[in-house]
Amino acid sequence: MRIDGVTEELLAGPTVGTLLSYGTRLLCDAGIEAAAREAAWILESALGRSALTLRLNACDLVHERDRARAVELLTRRATREPLQYVLGTQEFCGRLFRVMSNVLIPRPETELLIDEVVRRVPTDQSGIMIDIGTGSGCLAITLAGRFENARIVAIDMSRGALDVARCNAAEHELSDRVDWVQGDVLSALRQERLMGKVCVIVANPPYIPQGELDRLQPEVAHYEPRLALNGGPDGLGVHRRIIAEAKDYLVSGGVLALEVGMGQAQAVQSELERVGYIPGGIRADEAGIGRIVTALRGAKQE
Ligand code: GLN
């Protein structure tokens, strides 16, 4: 018999072991592939003990408060809420970032954006760098950590996202290096006298074509912010705006690095060339998908 999704066995006297097998079954029934591994991670977080300690102490009784917390987190994951929202964190470029439902979960392929900038820009660069659509702040904060003399401006339309990003910057003790701006692409910066002064602009813009949003896996389609995913009819609406607006802000030779979705790299590169940027190449991710398109602002642009 089940009471509120919890078996009587668990209510009677749950141990680490019974909780782990309950969690594994629950996640497995929800269609989650790595059910055992994810159940262990969730218990680690809910019980505040390492996976190894849990495994070595499978017979330990679990305190009622911890049991309730573990069941709550496991149940959230069983609705296909992303593991990162359930645990509240995601690692990016060696730092841990807080994530919740108002920010996109940082992806490993986005680390390539940082890599492309690091390859092109000296680490003692002292200019201004902009991150458009900062979300959790993962790009802005990583740039602040890598380029100690640079000033970072991070923009997002969502106030909730900026709150999360600010909190992440504080946790990494980089708050004084990043300015947070609420706005749409670069429009909010017009009064800031940054035209022609920016050395790097990065963005991981929304790039899922509107019609494909509902076909994404449930974790993404039902839980991640639409604002962070929806790239309009062909997925490249925000890229075009960034390409058009960024050229007024970049110094000559300044770097623009954009993440793109599968099959979009060539179109973005062509748009950059059409507008007068110097192409800087397409970087493929581990799956061989053209993922980061880089360009330099030419000297003689209109
Ligand atoms: N810059 C953040 C990231 O790359 C958010 C991107 C977005 O919301 N589209 O994770």
Average confidence (pLDDT) over 124-128: 95
CA of 7 to the centre of ligand 1 (A): 39
User: What whole-number percentage of the chain has pLDDT above 70?
Assistant: 95
d(CA 24, CA 2): 16
Q: Assess whether pLDDT exceeds 70 at residue 106.
A: yes
* Dihedral sign from CA coordinates of 55, 56, 59, 64: negative
CA of 291 to the centre of ligand 1 (A): 14
**110 CB within 6 A, ligand 1:** yes
**139 CB within 6 A, ligand 1:** yes
- Write down the residue that tokens 């790239």 correspond to: 231
**142 CB within 6 A, ligand 1:** no
Q: Which residues contact 302 (CB under 8 A, 6 or more apart)?
A: 276
CA of 25 to the centre of ligand 1 (A): 33
Give the ligand 1 atom nearest the CA of 207.
9
Q: Assess whether pLDDT exceeds 60 at residue 88.
A: yes
Please report which confidence band the pLDDT of residue 34 belongs to, taking 50, 70 and 90 as the band edges.
very high
| CB neighbourhood size of 96 (10 A) | 13
Average confidence (pLDDT) over 204-220: 96
Q: Tell me what pLDDT residue 123 has.
A: 96
**Could you give the dihedral angle defined by the CA atoms of residues 141, 144, 150 and 152, in that order, rounded to the nearest 10 degrees?**
10
Helices 138-146, 111-120: axis angle to 10 degrees equals: 30
Nearest CA to ligand 1 atom 10: 106
Q: Tell me what pLDDT residue 168 has.
A: 98
CA 243 remoteness from chain centre: 21
Nearest CA to ligand 1 atom 9: 228
Residues 151-170 have pLDDT tens digits of 999 999 999 999 999 999 99
Give the ligand 1 atom nearest the CA of 229.
9
CA of 174 to the centre of ligand 1 (A): 18
Residues 228-266 have pLDDT tens digits of 999 999 999 999 999 999 999 999 999 999 999 999 999
Q: Tell me what pLDDT residue 92 has.
A: 98
CA of 228 to the centre of ligand 1 (A): 7
Out of 107, 110, 117, 208, give the residue to mutate to test ligand 1, the one with the largest number of ligand atoms within 8 Å of its CB.
110
Average confidence (pLDDT) over 177-195: 92
CA 49 remoteness from chain centre: 26
For 216, which DSSP code? S
* Dihedral sign from CA coordinates of 28, 73, 49, 56: negative
CA of 205 to the centre of ligand 1 (A): 7
Q: Assess whether pLDDT exceeds 70 at residue 10.
A: no
Average confidence (pLDDT) over 209-227: 95
Provide the token pair at 193. Answer: 């006298």
Please report which confidence band the pLDDT of residue 9 belongs to, taking 50, 70 and 90 as the band edges.
low
